[in-house]
Amino acid sequence: MRIEELSPAAGSRKKPKRVGRGPGSGHGKTSCRGHKGQKSRSGATIPAGFEGGQMPLHRRLPKRGFSNHPFKKEYAIINIERLQKIDAQEITPELLLKEGIVSDLKDGLKVLGNGELNRAITVKAHAFSKSAIQKIEAAGGKAEVI
């Protein structure tokens, strides 16, 4: 295939509306803009949220809350039931990444307590839920915070 052989798919290209070409076209005289007013003028664009000079809604309402965005920690999560299926004595974030169980570590790994654990394993992660720590230690394992 060569560049000069390329063409758009059939029916994908629409011709532009030809306005101001006489009354017979149906788009003559006012060129589909209606009569008078701000929107009929050339170069007329009204900003989003503009209410004709009235104080806009987003400025009338009070500010509430705050955003912790720059300091927010987003963890990659894994449950106890998933750790049960891994055949390793020591589970680390690097191992989970290598095995493809976790695709992106983000700001670290957090272990949650959904599921049951019936063997002693050492889990190294950046954060643990209380129930995850209880279940790991009840099975005779260790939960180490990195």
- For the chain, domains (ranges, CATH) are 80-145 (3.100.10.10)
Give me the phi and psi of 70, to 5 degrees please.
-65, -20
How confident is the model over 127-145, as a mean pLDDT?
91
**How does pLDDT run across 78-118, given as a tens digit for each residue?**
999 988 888 888 899 999 888 888 888 889 999 999 988 88
Residue-by-residue DSSP string for 62-127: PP-----GGG---BEEEEHHHHHT---SEE-HHHHHHHTS-S--BT-EEEE--S---S--EEEESE
**How does pLDDT run across 39-91, given as a tens digit for each residue?**
999 998 999 999 999 999 999 999 999 999 889 999 999 999 988 888 888 89
Sheet strands side by side (includes 122-125): 90-91, 122-125, 142-145
d(CA 106, CA 28): 58
